[in-house]
Structure 1
Amino acid sequence: MTPVALDPQAVLAHRLAVHGLTWRTASRVDELAVCDLGVQDTPPGALRAAVSARLAVPLPPAADVTAGGALTLVWSFRGAPHLHRSADLPLLAAVGRPRDDADAMARLAWQRRRLAEAGVTGEGAYREVAEAVAAVLAAEGTVTKSRLSAQVTTRIRPALAPFCRPCDTRHVSEQLLRLAALPAGMRLVPDSRPLTFEAIPGWAGLPAATGPTAPLQRTYLRLFPGGSLADVADFLGVAKPVVADAPAADLVDVTVGGRPGLVRAEDLDTVRADAPEPGLRLLAPSDPVLQGRDRALLVPDPDHRSRLWRPLGSPGLLLAGTEAAGVWRPRQKRTLEIGVTAFRRLTRAERTALEEEAQRLAVVRGKAEATVTLA
């Protein structure tokens, strides 16, 4: 069947609406659709800014981001901290268990070479580290990041703890620790300093086998219609065959600006017709809408993409309607200063809206007011 050609602007408008950026009607974090896939907290604090961009009233620092336990902060996709629905954790943990050594090594990102040189095989390494994490949690209950790493290191074979030059010591591989933590039943304590972990209450133990990715495929494509199965695999941080070998049902082949992709059958008519646009928004560096793997749809200009998605220390995005209008960084002093580098001249109405968005971020940061500087 010939793929359905979709208008990129309609697809983008639909994505922003589904992500909750068009209308701010939600009063609780757990009402947000983006929690169905998870909201990343990188750098620490970005999570509150991301959910506040979608809420009727922004979250102050003391507000409970877990909505009374309905949500849980864990290391999940790609080892990054994400806020997920607590009911979804067993599925996420099962998907987090590699199906074989090739999948395991694919998940280890930049650390795979170091572990391969140490003679480490993948799936067994995950299981061993996850069992060590579970043992530490059982012994200590609540544990800081540094103590967790040290205690896990004493419980695993030396090959899983290669020498780390920056730390000048041997310790469990950081990425391996992060990816094994959720299957072990570990969650992060939100806003803890130093970073602290605890056991997930009632955790059933390590998943017996790798879980199906089809539910996550459908959720990703609901939030990012027009994406591909390769995009899903990249987002999850798994080997491509893990997704491609078991595609979700009822997906329609489409093209978005010539790029092949997929849309859930039940969403096709709405995606074709969508046209709503949000107002101006200041999006955090790891905002859910920035997690789509087809970045050119949101930010068509290659230079602008390189300025937004950086290897380290990415800025936030200034979104005007469906347009990537600039980037921003916070400078926190007595007040919150938002430094904005606009990609074009902003209108008077946009500058007024920008000031209002900055005040919302001041609430999130616990500041009385915010100022904006434009470059």
Structure 2
Amino acid sequence: MVVTTLGRRRILGYRAAAQGLDRTSAGRDRVLALGVQDTPYGSARDALAARSDDAAAEHDSLVLVWSWRGAPHLHRPGDLAFLAAALWPVNDTDATTRIGTGQIREGAQRGLRAFTEAAEAMGAALTGPMTKGELSAAVSAAVPADLTYHCPSCRTRHISGALFQQVGLAARVRVCPQGRSTHLDVLPAGIGPDAVPDRAEGTAAALHRYADVLAPVTPAGLAAFLGTDIATIRAVLPDDLVPVKGPAGTGLVPASAVADLDGAADVRATRLLPPGDPWLQARDREFLVPDRARRKAIWRPIGSPGVVLVDGEIRGIWRARATPRDTLAVSVEPFEPLSVRTRDELEAEAQRLARARERTGATVGYAG
């Protein structure tokens, strides 16, 4: 039964508060419970800067691992053991879906065995700092041949890339970017899983964290975020999700969030959000950005820009580059004319971004 009807402003206001864009610790705690994607490397630092007055300290308190869909995310150390079990496939069909059949059609049919074999091989191979290539070679040599594929350019066999990164957390792998290369190491003692999971546990609770900061959600949206199929999602849906009506149709929200959604205040903030920001993890992109051309400019197959968020709406895109003078040059491409107030606020946000990137200052230029 649909319990309430929500307007656009209420949903955007709720998400902004739930994701800490009002710069309150309560919102940051909720978004950190989910994790902050770090693609490209360094973008998570920018996401924290948009939410915290001390992004550097916040960043240093977190750990970078491969988690959701095998993508690098910053997480609180205390969440890693929970996530290792929660993100483990729930059955063979789920495991095969997450691997995909593009690289290892036969090996993907192993289902859960593929995850277990790859995770155990990775845990045995990683005893100290290694490059991603070194660990991949070691794991590729240790797993069954049908979990690898022939790479013509390297003239060797590689383990499926999707499988390799999705078992990283279960194998206690910590991601340590160094320049343009990825180095890996073992998670410090006392954090993360004690062993490779023997079954999934807590998947519904993990999905609840996504629904908490991006409500309303749909089974299809949850499936896309987890990287699985809708049938699997329906089997692990949090039991406290209730339906609501919104501009994009009927969605699901945590029962505890209904009152907050119904009473959410309008967003009054200007933020520079990086690609991969939690705000952009919503799967209802048509709702978030109704204009198709703007969606294409924001979500690109390669090299997506950051977005300019003004009072809950995406009003443009941005990129930044370091200058020889150790400053940051931020280039903004507005989708529509920006007010004087917004431009002044963007100047302040650019300075915040520069501090997070350890630059001496920033300049803002406008394209178009």
With the length of structure 1 as denominator, give the TM-score of the two structures: 0.90
CA distance in 1, matches of 2:36, 2:294: 23
The residue number in structure 2 matching 1:341 is 333
Equivalent position of 2:362 in the other structure: 370
In the TM superposition, what is the alpha-carbon distance from 1:239 to its structure 2 partner?
A: 2.5
Mapping for residues 280-359 of structure 1, pairs under 5 Å: 280-334=270-324, 335-359=327-351
- Range with greater deviation from structure 2 (284-293 or 266-275): 266-275
1:171 match: secondary structure: strand
Contact 1:213 1:243 (C-alpha < 8 Å) held by counterparts:
no
Q: Which amino acid in the other structure matches residue 187 of structure 1?
A: R
More off after superposition, 306-315 vs 212-221: 212-221
Aligned pairs for 1:94-113 (under 5 A) are 94-109=85-100, 112-113=101-102
Whether the 8 Å contact between 1:96 and 1:183 is mirrored in structure 2 is no
Q: 1: CA distance between counterparts of 2:334 and 2:102?
A: 39
Distance 2:361 2:281 in 1: 29
User: Which residue of the partner structure matches residue 59 of structure 2?
Assistant: 65
Counterpart of 1:180 in structure 2 is: 167
Shift of the 32–165 alpha-carbon distance from structure 1 to 2, 3 Å rule, reads farther
1:197 maps to: 184
Whether the aligned pair in 2 keeps the contact of 1:96 and 1:182 (CA below 8 Å) is no
In the aligned structure 1, how far is the partner of 2:136 from the partner of 2:47? Answer: 29
For 1:295 and 1:330, how far apart are their aligned partners in 2? 24
Query: Is contact 2:248–2:287 with CA below 8 Å preserved after alignment?
Result: no
1:127 to 116, 132, 151: 116
List gaps (5 residues or longer) in structure 1: none
Contact 1:73-1:190 within 8 A present in 2 as well: no
The equivalent residue for 1:74 is: 65
C-alpha distance in 1 between matches for 2:2 and 2:130: 55
Amino acid at match of 1:275: A
CA contact (8 A) 1:98 1:104 kept: yes
Cα separation, partners in 2 of 1:120 and 1:356, compared to 1, 3 Å:
same
CA RMSD of aligned residues (A): 2.1
Correspondence for 2:47 among 43, 46, 50: 50
Contact 2:96–2:109 under 8 Å retained in 1: no
- Which digits, 9 at most, give the CA deviation of each residue in 1:261-283, with x for residues without a partner? 11111211220111231321100
1:6 aligned residue: 6
2:12–2:267 Cα contact (<8 Å) kept:
no
Contact 2:275 2:306 in 1 (8 A): yes
In structure 2, stretches of 5+ residues that fail to align are none
What displacement does 1:250 show?
Answer: 2.4
What corresponds to 2:243 in structure 1?
Answer: 253
Task: Report how many aligned residue pairs link the two structures.
Answer: 362
- Once the two structures are aligned, what percentage of the paired residues are identical? 39
Per-residue CA deviations over 1:141-163 (Å, capped at 9, x if unaligned) read: 22221111111112112222211
1:147 is aligned, of 116, 119, 134, to 134
